[in-house]
């Protein structure tokens, strides 16, 4: 994997398996997504999907490096957007091919649980990466926004569509059309993030949630994720029927019997499909 994307596999406390801590690593450019980063994200998604050890993926941005003497420190960033320098002189045909099968879709299409751990700027494509994840945990210094309108653009990594589903029509309209940023507390108030904690607590809190998720049956987690996602594509009637069918099908799995027996025996389940 390239230097612009670091992967640390952290052991699951509940037994075997790992949580992949994925760090987008261009701190001098506020972790902006250039083509190299986007290719590395797609590769990471392929790797984590195929690697049975990986039970949860946490995506974050590299912390700023100490500044050279006399220079100001760069701010903290999750990802400050797509790399704007790569937009210069580009036309629609260039962008269509560059953004085909893009990194945001690769994250969104992962069957395994994903968490965005956001400390600092999550703007444009960075906000979209966070929205492609299942869960977002922010520090108090996180800043969210879709400032593309200031460049004469709109979000292009699924941002308009996923934001609507997360925060609703009115808030999406305001964010996309004004391009103004919102604080972590505002993001919490509109449901864009699940939790806001101090920067010092961010990793502990995120890993606590990741560890809790990673301790469950992987095959059941995948069914849960797919079933919840179906709510985005179906009316409530069809969605409830899809859920009922998924629920019934789980009764044919070994892990359902393991989970139920472990509860009755007051033991921790030893999942077959970890
Ligand atoms: N693409 C390319 N480079 C970016 C970038 C982006 N999206 N966001 C930040 N950078 C670079 C800056 O050019 C600068 O590089 P340099 O030090 O080599 O000049 C470095 O990251 C630090 O950013 P800087 O602007 O100096 O930090 P700041 O504290 O003054 O401002 C932001 C921080 C986030 C407000 C500002 O960088 C910004 O507005 N970034 C663009 C956000 C955006 O429009 N994203 C959507 C893109 S579609």
Instruction: Say which CATH number the domain at 61 has.
Output: 3.90.226.10
pLDDT digits (tens, 9 = 90+) for 247-271: 999 999 999 999 999 999 999 999 9
- Answer yes or no: is 272 within a domain: no
Known active-site residue 128: yes
Mark whether 157 and 257 lie in a shared domain: no
Q: Whose CA is nearest to atom 1 of ligand 1?
A: 83
**Domain of 126, in residue numbers:** 5-214
Which pLDDT belongs to residue 98?
Answer: 82
Q: In this structure, are 168 and 231 located in the same domain? A: no
Answer whether residue 173 is part of any domain. Answer: yes
Report yes or no on 273 lying in a domain: no
Distance 195 CA to ligand 1 centre (A): 26
CATH assignment at residue 240: 1.10.12
- pLDDT at position 138 is 99
| pLDDT at residue 16, rounded to an integer | 86
Is residue 176 in contact with ligand 1, taking CB distance under 6 Å?
A: no
Q: Among the residues of the chain, which ranges form H helices?
A: 35-50, 92-98, 103-108, 125-132, 159-167, 169-178, 184-189, 202-214, 218-230, 236-250, 254-264
Asked whether residue 271 is assigned to any structural domain, the reply reads no
43 is an active site residue: no
CA 82 to ligand 1 centroid distance, Å: 10
Same domain, 146 and 22: yes
Are 75 and 188 in a shared domain? yes
- On whether residue 209 sits in a domain, the answer given is yes
Is 238 inside any structural domain?
A: yes
Q: Residue 97: pLDDT band by 50, 70, 90 thresholds?
A: confident
Tell whether 26 and 93 lie within a shared domain. yes
Catalytic residue among 13, 49, 69, 128: 128
Are 45 and 170 found together in one domain? yes
CA distance 34 to 122: 15
| Same-domain pairing of 193 and 240 | no
Query: Residue 172's pLDDT band (boundaries 50, 70, 90)?
Result: very high
Rounded average pLDDT over 182-210: 98
d(CA 156, CA 82): 10
250 burial (CB, 10 Å; 0-12 / 13-18 / 19+) is: middle
What domain count does the chain have? Answer: 2
Give the mean model confidence (pLDDT) for residues 100-122.
Answer: 97
């Amino acid at each position: 994997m390239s230097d612009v994307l670091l992967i640390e596999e952290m052991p699951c406390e509940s037994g075997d398996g790992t949580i992949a801590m994925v760090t987008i690593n261009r701190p001098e450019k506020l972790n902006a997504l250039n083509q190299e980063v986007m290719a590395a994200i797609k590769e990471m998604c392929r790797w984590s999907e195929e690697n049975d050890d990986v039970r949860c993926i946490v995506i974050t941005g590299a912390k700023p490096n100490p500044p050279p003497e006399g220079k100001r420190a760069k701010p903290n960033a999750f990802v400050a957007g797509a790399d704007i320098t790569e937009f210069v002189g580009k036309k629609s045909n260039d962008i269509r091919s560059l953004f085909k099968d893009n990194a945001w879709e690769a994250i969104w299409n992962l069957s395994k649980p994903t968490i965005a751990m956001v400390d600092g700027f999550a703007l444009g494509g960075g906000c979209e990466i966070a929205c492609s994840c299942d869960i977002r945990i922010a520090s108090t210094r996180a800043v969210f926004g879709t400032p593309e309108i200031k460049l004469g653009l709109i979000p292009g990594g699924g941002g308009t569509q996923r934001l609507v589903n997360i925060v609703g029509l009115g808030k999406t309209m305001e964010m996309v059309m004004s391009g103004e940023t919102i604080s972590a507390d505002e993001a919490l108030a509109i449901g864009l993030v699940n939790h806001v904690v101090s920067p010092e607590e961010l990793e502990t809190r995120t890993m606590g949630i990741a560890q809790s998720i990673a301790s469950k049956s992987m095959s059941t987690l995948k069914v849960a994720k797919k079933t919840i996602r179906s709510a985005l594509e179906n009316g409530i009637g069809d969605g409830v029927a899809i859920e009922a069918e998924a629920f019934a099908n789980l009764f044919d799995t070994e892990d359902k019997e393991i989970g139920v027996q472990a509860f009755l025996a007051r033991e921790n389940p030893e999942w077959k499909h970890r």
